[in-house]
Amino acid sequence: MEGILLLEDGTTFAGRGFGHRGTSLGEAVFTTSMVGYQEILTDPSYAGQIVAMTFPHIGNYGVTPEDVESLAPHLAGFAVHDLSLAASNWRAHGNLQDYLRLHRVVALCGVDTRALARHIRSKGAMKALVSNDGTALADLHKRLAEFPGIDGVDLMARVTAREPYPFTKTFTGPEGFADALRPARKPSRAFRVAALDFGLKENILKNLTARDCTVTVVPAYTPLDEILDLRPDGIFLSNGPGNPEMAARALPTLRSLAERIPTFGICLGHQLLALAFGGRTYKLPFGHRGANHPVKNLRTGRVEITSHNHGFSVDADRLPPGFEATHVNLNDHTLEGMRHRELPLFSVQYHPESSPGPHDSLYLFDDFIAMMERSHG
């Protein structure tokens, strides 16, 4: 079945349908990651987005339950250039085509995804739809014109857990994989961590359990007293999708927690932490998505190659009182990390769990452990 990806400025990209047959609306984005398409598909931070992979060959190693970041894909659509139906990997449990059909993800192959990426880079992020069910072009234009977009939607509320639950999984995978991700040193004791689920990825939690943390995942809008009842030694603020300003009702709780308990935030958690203390966020022209973004640690001078997935950024010129920048993006000089000068809290914009991506920033989980050790003795 022939298909189309339509942007709000009227630009079209032709392709062939695969996955679920239908039409889906969202925001068109691209990622430069060469591998890790299954982690990308199941990352809740992509909720509401039509994701294009700029690397041309996708699907060649199939899919496996060991590599998912959540129970199912959350994105609005998927576009690739060259789809492989053959799953040439001993770990594969199936192919990408069947996986997307099972989870009702509308997808296109044969798309010039690099041309799409260049267009988004020059014109900026925009509303879009992907269709592979034969709907007439005039009807697609009408549907897209009526689509309000995702910037005014609290996407976090759609992907967060519905109830608190303990997380006990550990790393699995090929021989040597877990060893490569082990902490730099064994913690002095096991710490209790309350992980606020804004759309979290499982490998973040696995990095905490690998450091002997007892992790309880709580929904994004859990009341303060219920979180304090868990008696956590540390608070983790997760990644997640969408405009952080749409989750404003969580801010008072986040500030109260961060003022009392050692806190580590990433991605959306980083943005919400800045807002909670009076900072500002803004939308990037086309976002940062990929596994090769250079970030400089301003405290050590070291450059880390990092994994990114976000469309908003904290305004470095309007940091909240008491905060200082710790990391900066070397591509566009946006803020990538901050810490409080007095309170035990820090956050980064990128994904230190590296799923997918390099392992340069795993030390941040050890820093979180060390911060809890200093605070709790």
373 tagged catalytic: no
Cβ within 8 Å of residue 228, ≥6 positions away: 260
- Which member of 8, 20, 267, 270 is catalytic? 267
Q: How far apart are CA 122 and CA 328, in angstroms?
A: 23
- Which member of 119, 270, 308, 351 is catalytic? 351
Q: How far apart are CA 45 and CA 373, in angstroms?
A: 30
Q: CB-side exposure of 256: number of CA atoms within 13 Å?
A: 12
Cis, peptide link before residue 356, omega less than 30° from 0: yes
The DSSP code for 120 is H
351 tagged catalytic: yes
Residue 2 backbone dihedrals phi, psi, to 5 degrees: -70, 150
- CB-CB contact of 107 with 19 (8 Å): yes
Distances in Å between the Cα of 56 and the Cα atoms of 5, 33, 50, 160, 188 are 17, 10, 16, 32, 46
27 tagged catalytic: no
Distances in Å between the Cα of 248 and the Cα atoms of 245, 254, 273, 307 are 5, 10, 11, 26
Cβ within 8 Å of residue 167, ≥6 positions away: 195, 205, 208, 209, 215, 216, 217
Cβ within 8 Å of residue 320, ≥6 positions away: 274, 277, 278, 279
- The helix or strand, by DSSP H or E, that contains position 140, with its residue range, turns out to be helix 137-146
Catalytic residue numbers read 267, 351, 353
